[in-house]
Amino acid sequence: MSIKIASWNVNSIKARLEHVKRWLNDNKPDVLMMQELKGLDFPAEELETLGYTPNFVNQKAYNGVACLSLKENSVTVILDKLPGDDSDEQARYLEIEYKETRIINIYLPNGNLVDTDKYTYKLSWMDRLYSRLKELREDNISFVIGGDFNVIPEDRDCHDPKGWEGDALFRPETHAKWRALLHLGLTDAFRINNHSVEQYTFWDYQRGAWPQNHGIRIDHFLLSPALTDRFIACNIDKAPRGEEKASDHTPIILEIE
């Protein structure tokens, strides 16, 4: 038996509810992690009718993350906030236990503009994330962490590397903290068996980015060593991005034993 886990920045669950319902019916993942819910109203009852148990943290107008897990299996919420800063009220982190598998859903801060406190917040958030994942590694807890990382890992992960120079998603400081996560022994699941260029998860609404495939790869799954050993596949589903009134992100799907 395998577990299929998907991640999708829906860019407003209110605006994208029908897209999500259709995708769930067509793909039937064990868990769907969503980011950028953008609001206090969450359609829990509608999603429950599709056979999913929703767990979520949200806030007015911004951010918000949710995990939908198949009702037939129990789920336990471990944390609904990233430790390390009690004053941080942004809804960006949800950690659950599902079928004896630790699953972490994140919406990592964008960080632009880089000369403001938004970038300072991004870097400090990544430091806190590192501390949490280091703690899990030291406690020998296997995990998968997925979501919108707002990190372009390499040149091959964006259409125009030169054009992204200086952006918070592509700055050297951001890359250093991304590498620190990998140095905990984590593996970028998508790159286990796919080394192609032009593999993206986000296309801006402007400048014809989608039809020209001018995208970036910023939605990821990272696996701890034991989960890497259970890896089967990780793919990007581009179809939802081509729908009418689509999110600017598209789902990524991880399958593990």
pLDDT tens per residue across span 204-231 = 999 999 999 999 999 999 999 999 999 9
Six token digits for residue 82: 């990233």
pLDDT band with cut points at 50, 70 and 90 for residue 237:
very high
Is 137's pLDDT higher than 90?
Answer: yes
* Domains defined along the chain, listed by start: 3-256 (3.60.10.10)
In the chain, the N- to C-terminal Cα span, in Å, equals 6
Phi, psi dihedral angles at 66 (to 5 degrees) = -145, 150
CA separation (Å) from 46 to 49, 245, 248? 5, 20, 23
Six token digits for residue 14: 């209110």
Q: Are 103 and 96 in contact (CB under 8 A)?
A: yes
pLDDT band with cut points at 50, 70 and 90 for residue 1:
confident
Average pLDDT over all residues of the chain: 98
Mean pLDDT of 120-146: 98
Helix or strand or coil: residue 212?
A: coil
pLDDT tens per residue across span 34-47 = 999 999 999 999 99
